[in-house]
Amino acid sequence: MVVGEIAVETDVVVIGGGPGGYSAAIRLGQLGKSVVLVEKEELGGVCLNSGCIPSKALIHAAGLLYDAKSAAKMGIRTEADALTFDLTVWQDWKSGIVRRLRGGVEQLCAANGVTVVKGSAIFLSADRIGVESESGFETYKFRQAIVATGSRPHIPSFAKAGEPRILTSTDALDEAQLPGSLAIVGSGYIGIELGMAFAKLGCKVTLIEREERILPLVDVSLVEEVKRRARKLGMTIKTSATVRTAVAHDDRVELHVDSQRHGEEVIVSDKVLVTIGRVPNTEAIGLSQAGVTVDERGYVEVDAECRTNVSHIFAIGDITPGPALAHRAAKQGTVAAEVIGGLPSAVDSPYIPYVIFSDPQIAGVGLTREEAERQGMKVKTGRFPFRANGYALAAGKTDGFAEVVVDADSHLLLGMHAVGADAASLISQGALALELAAKAEDVALTVHPHPTLSEGWLEAAAAALGHAIHIVNERRLEHE
């Protein structure tokens, strides 16, 4: 900042235009605040432009191809070479979706009076930011600020920056040609989702996981169906294995791996995808100059109103401790905006659902049985397998189950979890039920349409109560 410069004044600056940032900016506009939204790349952030939306477009396309090739049992016959996948055409399809959604965000911002500035923001003080753009450097003076700068892939030491054969998830979704073989380092949700999609498209996929099992942060009882399908897809799974070095050649990459089971081995593939977590984007935005503190990992601690230690500066999304989920960021953004607007608002619910777009899908909200037991709770569980569901049988999607976890005495729902086709959509009922403090009886007494997968919730709740209709009742009462 130079002496004598004139700062543009605004009520609120929002730094970062991802799902959390643009949701906050739009809500602030609705509440009558003047808002400057600063985004250094494209509105929509990683989620819309290079993460959630593009990856689901690939996963859906791969699923269509796989299902079509597997549909002979339903009477659908194809020649061996009649179905192919053209990645170039898919890239055009993906880009069209992204452009359409991004255009929608731009229109919503404009309709709500949000001033969008493209550039890199940095705090100059507790009430000023500077924005560097192609047109120069501008200063903005604000009353409140919301920081929503998101996260980026963690790049381990063995992965050289700029090496074209070692990819991040963003790189993988921008590939112009499918690799014949792909090694994936890390089997969290990104590694599993993309790995299964590439395997369905014909790639030879090897998963390398440091922990003892894939999806190590997900309850083990929810993972088995995915593990079975991965093996059916021909994926090689190497657990308790650590990559030491990567040697890239013109036509391949050699990963030198220490495996608990096989000792030292070399895994050769056309390309390598690294999916071992993300890190918050907080180190280059001048937070210390605004007085905002971060922890040793770069995260910003916030309270239920999303306030940082500086009361008029808020932080949301991936830069705050907790799961890096777009819907969590959007909720936080709305809360921060409403607090700034003088409304009573807070992130006061523990019920943040998660979804993994694996095959079959996994989704959950609330506690698993194991988590509840560790907290000293006495619980019942009810599980309904989709192989007993009429629609699942008709659609050939019988893998998985719906499960409820309830308090043994009060029957209050503590958690709802689904593994199976369309679990991503099914879990919204679970989130609503827990948010409303529903009991197992509430779900079991609610009429669910037939034939649908949603009937799994009714049957699971009834099973927890001991009177499921379409399965033999096994009352799973723990500690009783």
Residues with catalytic function: 450
Backbone angles phi, psi at 16, to 5 degrees: 115, 125
Helix (H, G, I), strand (E, B), or coil: what is residue 63? Answer: helix
Phi-psi region of 263 (alpha: psi -120 to 50; beta: other; left: phi over 0): left
Eight-state DSSP code of residue 471 = S
Eight-state DSSP code of residue 279 = E
CA torsion 98-99-104-107 (nearest 10°) is 150
Helix (H, G, I), strand (E, B), or coil: what is residue 294? Answer: coil
Distances from the Cα of 227 to the Cαs of 4, 7, 131, 236, 271, in angstroms? 63, 56, 47, 10, 23
How are the residues of the chain apportioned to helix, strand and coil, as percentages rounded to the nearest 5?
35, 25, 40
Reading across the β-sheet that carries 271-274, which strands appear in turn?
A: 166-167, 271-274, 181-185, 204-208, 236-238
Closest CA to 346 of 359, 357, 336, 360: 336
Rg of the chain taking only CA atoms, in angstroms: 24
Check: CB of residue 430 under 8 Å from CB of residue 418. Answer: yes
475: tokens are 């009352």
Distances from the Cα of 281 to the Cαs of 80, 141, 154, in angstroms? 47, 22, 11
The count of other CB atoms within 10 Å of the CB of residue 401 is 23
Match 């796989």 to its residue by tokens. 66
Which amino acid is residue 174, in one-letter code? D
44: tokens are 């929509």
Phi-psi region of 151 (alpha: psi -120 to 50; beta: other; left: phi over 0): beta
Contacts 24+ apart (CB under 8 A), 268-271: 268/181, 269/179, 269/181, 269/182, 269/183, 269/204, 269/206, 270/165, 270/179, 270/180, 270/181, 270/182, 271/165, 271/166, 271/167, 271/179, 271/181, 271/182, 271/183
